[in-house]
Amino acid sequence: MELILIILVVAVLVIGTVGLGFVATRRRGRDLELESDAKILDRAGVDLDSDTHDAGPVDGTVDDAVDDAVVEAEPEVRTDDIIVKPSFFERLGKARSAFAGYLGDLVGMSRVDDEAWEELEEALIRADIGVQTSMSLIGDVQAKAKETKAEDGKQVLALLKERMHVELADKDRSLRLDDDTTNVWLVVGVNGAGKTTTIGKLGRRLVNEGESPLMAAGDTFRAAAAEQLGTWAERSGAEFVRGSEGGDPSSVIFDGVQAAAARGCNVVLADTAGRLQNKANLMDELSKVRRVADKDPGEVTEVLLVLDATTGQNGMSQAKVFTEAVDVTGVVLTKLDGSAKGGIVFAVESELGIPVKLVGLGEGADDLVDFEPTEFVDALFE
Amino acid sequence: MFDSLTDKFEGIFSRLGRKGVLTEADVEEVLKEIRVALLEADVNLAVVKSLRNRIRERAVGEEVHKALNPAQQVVKIVNEELTASLGGETIDIRYASKPPTVVMMAGLQGSGKTTSSAKLARWFKSQGRNPLLVGADLQRPAAVEQLRTLGRQIDVPVHSEPSDPVSVAASAIEQARSTGRDVVIVDTAGRLAIDEALMDEVRRISDAVEPDYTFLVVDAMTGQDAVTVAEAFHERLELDGVILTKLDGDARGGAALSVKEVVGRPIAFAATGEKLEDFDLFHPDRMANRILGMGDMLTLIEKAEETYEKDEAEEAAAKMLEGQFTLDDFLEQMQQLKKMGPLTNLVGMLPGLPKEARDVEIDDREVNRIEAIIKSMTPAERADPDMVDASRRSRIASGSGTNPTQVSGLISQFGQMRKMMKRLGGMGTKKVRKSKRKDAKRGKKGKGGGRVTPKGGRTTPKGSGRVTPKGEKVGKSPLMLPGLDRIDDADLERMAEELEGFES
Ligand SMILES: Nc1nc2c(ncn2[C@@H]2O[C@H](COP(=O)(O)OP(=O)(O)OP(=O)(O)O)[C@@H](O)[C@H]2O)c(=O)[nH]1
Ligand SMILES: Nc1nc2c(ncn2[C@@H]2O[C@H](COP(=O)(O)OP(=O)(O)OP(=O)(O)O)[C@@H](O)[C@H]2O)c(=O)[nH]1
Ligand SMILES: [Mg+2]
Ligand SMILES: [Mg+2]
């Protein structure tokens, strides 16, 4: 078939040429594929970010330097708790009751047999932890059980939980808010994950803590996205900046940072349009947003990836690709008030090392709590 | 990118060798892999179990087919079983004898109800109907505004009022009657399956409008919970069908299977993007391939049909095989292919490609750079890249924001490819001869005009031949990337054969 031949030829040429010396860089302007090369070159002079970063096509080093700078800056971490902090468990009550019983038999067992081991593994799979991760966890626990001669169901379950706790332990889950700068918290994720709502909740929380947040409507694409965020700004008492529909998201965020500095707001909550991680041009757009947000006086201190707890194994790919594009600093796990368990964040955290920082437990302004690994693990088995 | 099941099975069966019939032990081992593959694709555990039993029943004792190897044969059975599960009865929209026909959307938060409502309205319009959209989500900030914006884009009126969802929905029916709208599409707020109050509310909306069709909108990225959700909504609303969204992502979409098993009603529509035109009827066979992570030839072919004039592709291929292919042609083909999606995905969809090759990630940004290089060349240089000397090279490099090594890299790679293609063309396979002949008869034909092939007009034979690699060649397929210089005549010979095998 002709088409196969064509694809092959093009692919071979492209891969071959790439292999011959195109340094892998992943940080040039947005939407390249929609524009002609002439335009790309023309844009070099006018891009908001081109003056400092995009001097040439091989710009990885410059960017890395910038990234390093971010790391070097001394973070002043706030640990103030929010005023009302509903407990994870309390809040999960409804969901838990619907699911009690998977492991009922196991706990009462005096000897965990093969079938029970399988059920244990299946409980993990049912929670979206993933087959590979579940198998390796169970493998570890089996070894440990043998070593410690743990036999009954209770002991085995305790070993499994312990094993999982270890994986989630010792992570810095605080949200970074530096003094003397305009902090930018960039909120990213796939479509419908809960980004805008999370910003609304964060706004409420920051206002309660005495900070002064500004919400920037960086989603210029989806219908009425800015109106949605505007409503949240009103609800939470945050400042609000929006651009024109269909406008350039980077400029909205840029304007947001400027406005925040001018109005004395210390943190910009930057909303972005939902995007599926396999769309390279949209991921490029996002990288650019991040770069622009990091320009003086702005400083990106958090990049929060919003993951829907209902998401299955694709969550892993989301975390990987978004991290490559914008250096995710933390995950917000939303919709955990439903029957889904959000087990994919286990793999995200243990394999990619990205800490889950916040959990969404409802659609209201106060339905955002800090992530508690212990309670999260316990809830997986309820 | 995709882990093909077939690749895994090949391993198992190479140990087993060819036998007369598939024994229980053979099948059992394969079933383990199938379980993992399905679970990784997010098919619900309980659904996986029941599927496994069905597959076991069918596969054990099956005579080993002559044309297929055992691995392909089991894959074929699995594939057929999945297709059957996903398909069956198709949705057949019947319009109410007394208009309006009422459609209600329901689902979890953020699954795509509002967007799909507008897409559906657009679809009904294309069927010659006059839809009315109803904003019965009074809960989420700016939900009605979102629907109104979408309604404006497709010129469909939106009914809503700040009262309560049940009365909005009820009054919409009156509104439709008095304004001559014959289809009413009710968008509802997102709700959790375990939220009793809201589940009760959606039931009351349903009672108020008595929908002819109730669709559950499901995100293709959904994990194990899809079953619980589908059960809960089905129990309350008696669903008529499912709309599967965000299929433009790279989730394998096992949730489709889970939901289908529970609801037992057709997956009616597939949403494949944020734009309102990204919406189409659902194809069970493609979804089965996708869940299994196999090269999805059908999608490839259909995409090609949308992008290409058949003749154009033939012409380009013939040019390649005659060694007449220029950098201009290359550029043009590359741009065409890009319209079909990221190159990486296209390569991933190619059948018969060994895993290593399929897994190569092609960054579309690199493609843009190659494009920039070619565009920085003069027409003469593009026609005859050999004329590019050092000074031309540095001009091209600076014009395209690359460096001279990259420019010469592209040119030499292109030269090698051209030679290889010419050799391949010289082998005179049936396919090649045919292309040449057609090419000779026809002058250059411009773009535009109607599509040559209406959807479904050119059918492709289904079966494992198309979607699975040819048994013996796996692992030593000639299509090695990118070491062009290592491909010898024997490889080319095989390649010619393979290509012939793909003729539609
Ligand atoms: N139950 C529940 N619903 C949530 C939660 N977080 C967000 N939602 C709901 O999920 C839906 C989508 O949320 P949005 O904030 O609009 O999501 P988004 O990621 O901004 O969506 P796009 O901008 O369209 O990509 C809304 O109906 C929210 O009310 C949560 O923690 N629990
Ligand atoms: N890529 C992609 N995005 C989609 C698709 N369908 C919907 N979306 C996006 O998903 C997000 C959520 O879509 P909505 O239509 O607002 O979802 P909803 O179910 O109405 O959300 P709530 O009303 O908040 O429960 C938006 O960003 C949509 O643009 C699709 O098929 N592909
Ligand atoms: Mg949003
Ligand atoms: Mg909606």
**CA proximity to A8, closest of B460, B377, B487, B437:** B487
The structure tokens 């109106």 sit at A227
User: Is some CB atom of chain A closer than 8 A to the CB atom of B359?
Assistant: no
Residue B33 CB less than 6 A away from ligand 2: no
CB B34 within 8 A of CB B5: yes
Compute the 3-state secondary structure of chain B and give helix, strand, coil in percent, each to the nearest 5.
55, 10, 35
DSSP-assigned states of every residue in A259-318:
HHHHHT-SEEEEEE----TT-HHHHHHHHHHHHHHTSTTEEEEEEEEEEETTB-THHHHH
What are the structural domain ranges in chain B?
3-85, 101-293, 298-440+473-500
CATH class, domain B298-440+473-500, is mainly alpha
User: Is some CB atom of chain B closer than 8 A to the CB atom of A341?
Assistant: yes
- Of all residues in chain A, the one with the smallest CA distance to B337 is A7
Residues of chain A with CATH 1.20.120.140: 88-168
Q: CA B118 to CA B276: how far, in whole Å?
A: 7
Atom of ligand 2 nearest to the CA of B137: 23
> Order of strands across the sheet with A213-218?
A239-241, A213-218, A267-272, A182-188, A298-308, A330-334, A356-360, A368-370
Phi, psi of B267 (to 5 degrees): -80, 110
Q: CA B455 to CA B459: how far, in whole Å?
A: 9
H or E element: which one contains B57?
A: helix B45-59
pLDDT single digits (tens) A174-195? 999 999 999 999 999 999 999 9
Tokens of B494: 């095989």
Q: Across A22-31, A332-341, B6-15, B80-89, which has the greatest mean pLDDT?
A: A332-341
User: Is some CB atom of chain B closer than 8 A to the CB atom of A16?
Assistant: yes
Q: CA B361 to CA B55: how far, in whole Å?
A: 33
User: In this predicted model, which residue has the larger pLDDT, A198 or B366?
Assistant: A198
Q: Across A70-84, A158-172, B484-498, which has the greatest mean pLDDT?
A: A158-172
Report residue B230's pLDDT band, with 50, 70 and 90 as the boundaries. Answer: very high
Q: CA-CA distances (angstroms) from residue B266 to B82, B85, B115, B284?
A: 14, 10, 20, 10
Is residue B66 packed enough to be buried (19+ CB in 10 Å), middle (13-18) or exposed (0-12)?
exposed
Radius of gyration of chain B (CA): 27
Phi, psi of A269 (to 5 degrees): -95, 105
Report residue B474's pLDDT band, with 50, 70 and 90 as the boundaries. Answer: very low
Mean pLDDT of B312-341: 80
The structure tokens 């996903």 sit at B86
Across the interface, whether the CB atoms of B142 and A230 are under 8 A apart is answered yes
Q: CA-CA distances (angstroms) from residue A51 to A46, A55, A56?
A: 8, 7, 10
CB A7 within 8 A of CB B350: yes
H or E element: which one contains B159?
A: strand B158-159
Q: Considering only A32-41, A121-130, B415-424, which range has the smallest mean pLDDT? A: A32-41
Q: Which residue type, as a one-letter code, is found at position B107? A: G
Alpha helices in B241-375 (DSSP H): 255-263, 284-292, 297-307, 310-322, 327-339, 343-349, 355-358, 364-375
pTM tops 0.80, yes or no: no
- Local structure of A97: helix, strand or coil: helix
DSSP-assigned states of every residue in B431-459:
HHHHHHHHHHH-----S-SS-SS-TTTS-
- Angle, nearest 10°, between helix axes A131-148 and A114-126? 140
Q: CA B414 to CA B377: how far, in whole Å?
A: 14
Ligand 2 pocket test: which of B147, B248, B274 has the largest number of ligand atoms within 8 Å of its C-beta?
A: B274
Question: Sign of the C-alpha dihedral, residues B483, B485, B489, B490?
Answer: negative
Q: What pLDDT is stored for residue B420 in this prediction?
A: 79
Three-state secondary structure readout of B319-355: HHHHCCCCHHHHHHHHHHHHHCCCHHHHHHHCCCCCH
Q: What pLDDT is stored for residue A76 in this prediction?
A: 39
Can you name the residues that pair with A333 across neighbouring β-strands?
A307, A359
The CATH number of the structural domain formed by B3-85 is 1.20.120.140
Q: CA B165 to CA B378: how far, in whole Å?
A: 64
Residue B219 CB less than 6 A away from ligand 2: no
Q: Within 13 Å and on the Cβ side, how many CA atoms surround B181?
A: 24
Q: In Å, how far is B330's CA from the nearest CA of chain A?
A: 7
Query: B110 alpha carbon to ligand 4 midpoint, in Å?
Result: 7
Residue B248 CB less than 6 A away from ligand 2: yes
pLDDT above 70: residue B352: no
Query: A219 alpha carbon to ligand 3 midpoint, in Å?
Result: 7
162-191 in A: which are within 8 Å (CB) of B?
190-191
Residue A224 CB less than 6 A away from ligand 2: no
* Residue burial B132-170, b: 16+ Cβ < 10 Å; e: rest: bbbbbbbebbbbbbbbbbbbeebebbbbbeeeebbebbb
Angle at B381 between CA B483 and CA B319, to 5 degrees: 60
CB B18 within 8 A of CB B72: no
**CA proximity to B75, closest of B254, B291, B253:** B291
Q: CA A28 to CA B288: how far, in whole Å?
A: 37
The structure tokens 């010792």 sit at A170
CATH architecture of A88-168: Up-down Bundle (1.20)
Residues of chain A with CATH 3.40.50.300: 182-328
Percent of chain B with pLDDT over 70: 70
User: Is some CB atom of chain A closer than 8 A to the CB atom of B229?
Assistant: yes
* Residue burial B19-45, b: 16+ Cβ < 10 Å; e: rest: eeebeeebbebbbebbbbbbbbbbbbb
The structure tokens 């599927």 sit at B51
Q: What pLDDT is stored for residue B359 in this prediction?
A: 59
CATH class, domain A182-328, is alpha beta
The minimal CB distance from A17 to the residues B221, B336, B409 is found for B409
Ligand 1 pocket test: which of B109, B245, B275 has the largest number of ligand atoms within 8 Å of its C-beta?
A: B109
DSSP-assigned states of every residue in A3-41:
HHHHHHHHHHHHHHHHHTT--------S-GGGS-HHHHH
Q: What pLDDT is stored for residue B321 in this prediction?
A: 80
Q: In Å, how far is A262's CA from the nearest CA of chain B?
A: 28
Q: What pLDDT is stored for residue B335 in this prediction?
A: 82
Q: CA B135 to CA B112: how far, in whole Å?
A: 14
Q: Considering only A190-204, A306-320, B280-294, B340-354, which range has the smallest mean pLDDT? A: B340-354
pLDDT single digits (tens) B90-135? 788 899 999 999 999 999 999 999 999 999 999 999 999 999 999 9
CB B469 within 8 A of CB B6: yes
Residue A366 CB less than 6 A away from ligand 1: no
Q: CA B265 to CA A108: how far, in whole Å?
A: 40
Q: What pLDDT is stored for residue B473 in this prediction?
A: 29
Question: Sign of the C-alpha dihedral, residues B479, B485, B490, B492?
Answer: positive
User: In this predicted model, which residue has the larger pLDDT, B82 or B166?
Assistant: B166
CATH architecture of B101-293: 3-Layer(aba) Sandwich (3.40)
Angle at B233 between CA B232 and CA B237, to 5 degrees: 125
Mean pLDDT of A350-356: 95
Residue B109 CB less than 6 A away from ligand 1: yes
Which ipTM score applies to this complex? 0.78
CB contacts of A287 in chain B (<8 Å) are: none
Mean pLDDT of A147-168: 91
Q: What pLDDT is stored for residue B495 in this prediction?
A: 59
H or E element: which one contains B279?
A: strand B279-281
User: Is some CB atom of chain A closer than 8 A to the CB atom of B112?
Assistant: yes
Q: Say which ligand is closest to the CA of B192.
A: 1
